[in-house]
Chains A and B, each alone.
Chain A
Amino acid sequence: MYYLGVDVGSVSTDIVVLDEKLNVYDQVYLRTKGRPIEAIQRGFKQLKNKYKDKEVRAIGTTGSGRGITSFILGADCVKNEITAHAMAGVYYDKEVKTIFEIGGQDSKIILLNQGVVTDFAMNTVCAAGTGSFLDRQAERLGIPIEEFGNYALKSKLAVRIAGRCAVFAESDMIHKQQLGYDSADIIKGLCEALARNYLNNVGKGKDIQPKVFFQGGVAANIGIKEAFEKILGFEIFVPKYYNVMGAIGAALLAKETVESKRCKTNFKGFDISDHVFITNSFQCKDCPNECEVVRILDGEVEIGCFGDRCGKWNQKSHIKSS
């Protein structure tokens, strides 16, 4: 028996398979490339031959594409990213008090007390504190992003880089590069700038208590972990499955839903990868808002709509997120 969790973000889509004992049994990582449905289909194609439909006991979705993919997959539980990340963090360690999550496009902070979320904040507008910013700079320096962290560790002295805003950080970095600073020192500087930026923006005014979990794709970067530790003065922990915590949380929440409702899963089966989903959009003219409504069709059958401000189309397709 398995529990599936799917985290559909704007940059990446993660699928995890948890076994009966809730260990991570399998995981798939995909680039979303702005097409969440295709990403999901590619992912399920990979899983199709390994598992049977009836082995799935529950499936949950999270991430910005949670709604759209839930129609396609028949998710039992559709939850926001905050709740999903918190769920997974607490599952691995009941003592966790703070979760830093830094992904490709956004970042968040979650505060917990005895396993319950007490506070959170998200940043979805400023790029300076996210993974895509680091990716760009790695590219600029000609260093693979995987190596970034190790480079930072080589440095003895970080170059101070203005981290307030992505645009400034970038020009400041170029400037320092031209002045002939060592790459390792610049990278360390960048890591510190990102950590500072995160703590000053997303973490502003928050009482950050250990134990801190560092989750999301950027947690792979040991340079950032070190920068956080230097600023905060205590150790922070990167859980083993740091980059799929959202998906794990979604799977755990789905399990909880199915069990508390004592119902069977709505999972539509692995061969959704063979279906042809068509999305088209139309402009609703029923009021001056003129929403661009997106409609998803499975062959001929409409399975969901979104993009409407008033909810009239969304409701018609009986989808509820959350």
Chain B
Amino acid sequence: MIVGLPKGLLFHQYEKFITEFLKVLQIDYIISKDTNKDILNLGVKYCVDEACLPIKIFHGHVASIKDRCDLVIVPRIVSVHEKEFICPKFNGLPEMILHNIPNMPAITTKPLYLYSEKKTLAWLEDFGSMLNKNKNQVREAYIRGKEIYDRQKLGYNDKRYRRRVLLVGHPYNIDDIYMNMNIKKKLNDLGVGVMTHHYVRDKDKQKEVDKLYKRPFWTFARHTYGSCVYLGRTQQVDGIIYLSSFNCGIDSIFIQLIKNELKDFPLLVVKIDEHTGEAGLNTRLEAYTDMLERKKKNGSNFPASREHLYSM
């Protein structure tokens, strides 16, 4: 029995856990390669056109390993935090995959509620039964996997750069350096350090979110909105770069909410889709960095904010 792990969507977040879990259970697994041109092309080929790029790329990852494994993990993650949800597209992911990609091996289809240990274990037990493992074995593997998961530190917090920006966006947009054309390296090369929301305290984010007239029911939004508004307001970074997926409704809403709140703070919105050209991105990042530099040089607090209306 070989389990296939597609390296898309939230994989990077849970990689440590799931690989340890499978190791303890002595199950062989394969992980798809880092996103590359072939994977992107496969994704575009199989997935419906209207889907966002991360969903297409996930399709590509699944398609690239489906013939080499017996069971693919296609997580139907519903929620990672109590009373909050993640994007509804995750909800329909197993159906999309089964429907769009021919000759699929078995996949996981049960919904996954990651905020509750009990519910997570129930999912894992079900998954374990597909691997012929009993509840005790699953529990043992869960504990070991969780230990490693809890120890990991996600995100970036660059120091020692002339300028520093907060990089926000869905975790998969930030983790996948093929999709984002290694934006972190580009920024570092321009003398700009990158930090992510992981380094903003939850209570600081929460304070900003609480001021919204309605509690957002997306976990992602809490981190993104909260960290943007908190850091922008307190001017702890020189700017904010929002990596957004073309066709993502959640992004559109939160970009607007952040803009309303931060008005003149230098916010750069970078939209990515499969046609995104690298030259266009370079130009924008350079112009943005120049802007931050010159603003600083003139020692002023000139208002600044911008949005790119088009993907490059």
Contacts and interface: CB of A to CB of B under 8 A. Distances in A.
Interface string B175-213: 000100110010001100000000000000000000000
Contacts of A124: 277, 280, 310, 312
A147 B163 CA distance: 49
Per DSSP, chain A at the interface is loop
Contacts of B33: 288
A136 B311 CA distance: 25
Contacts of B27: none
B124 to A, nearest CB: 32
Interface string A83-113: 1000000000000000000000000000101
A205 B259 CA distance: 11
A79 B290 contact: yes
B309 interface: yes
A6 B294 CA distance: 22
Contacts of B36: 287-289
A83 to B, nearest CB: 4
A47 interface: no
B295 A82 contact: no
Contact of A80 (B286, B302, B304, B312): B286
A322 interface: yes
B91 interface: no
B283 A81 contact: yes
B289 to A, nearest CB: 8
A123 B39 CA distance: 28
A118 B189 CA distance: 22
Contacts of B304: 117-119
A202 interface: yes
B25 to A, nearest CB: 30
Given A125-B310, A289-B37, A119 B305 contact: yes
Contact of B291 (A116, A287, A290, A311): A116
Interface in A18-69: 64
B302 A113 contact: yes
Nearest to A253: B290
Interface string B288-312: 0111001100101011111111111
Contact of B302 (A116, A121, A288, A289): A116
A68 B61 CA distance: 35
A83 B286 contact: yes
A151 interface: no
A120 to B, nearest CB: 5
Contacts of A310: 182
A156 B67 CA distance: 69
A88 B233 CA distance: 33
Say which size band chain A's interface belongs to.
Answer: 35 or more
A189 to B, nearest CB: 24
Contacts of B298: 114-116
A290 B37 contact: yes
A201 B33 CA distance: 38
A194 B256 CA distance: 27
B309 A80 contact: no
A310 B37 CA distance: 13
A204 B309 contact: yes
B287 interface: yes
Contact of A118 (B38, B39, B291): B291
A114 B307 contact: no
Nearest to A66: B283
A80 B279 contact: no
B279 to A, nearest CB: 6
A257 B68 CA distance: 56
B278 interface: yes
A50 B268 CA distance: 44
A321 B283 CA distance: 10
A319 interface: no
A114 B302 contact: yes
Contacts of B306: 111, 118-121
Nearest to B282: A321
Interface string A273-291: 0000000000000011110
Nearest to B36: A288
A3 B298 CA distance: 25
Given A118-B291, A201-B310, 19 more contacts: A80-B283, A80-B286, A81-B283, A83-B287, A83-B291, A113-B302, A115-B298, A117-B291, A117-B304, A118-B295, A118-B304, A120-B291, A121-B306, A121-B309, A122-B308, A124-B277, A125-B311, A202-B309, A287-B36
Interface of A: 64, 79-83, 111, 113-126, 201-202, 204-205, 287-290, 309-311, 320-322
Interface of B: 33, 36-39, 178, 181-182, 185, 189-190, 264, 266, 277-280, 282-284, 286-287, 289-291, 294-295, 298, 300, 302-312
19 contacts: A82-B290, A114-B298, A114-B300, A117-B290, A117-B304, A118-B291, A118-B303, A118-B305, A121-B309, A123-B309, A123-B310, A124-B280, A125-B310, A204-B309, A288-B33, A288-B37, A288-B38, A309-B178, A322-B190
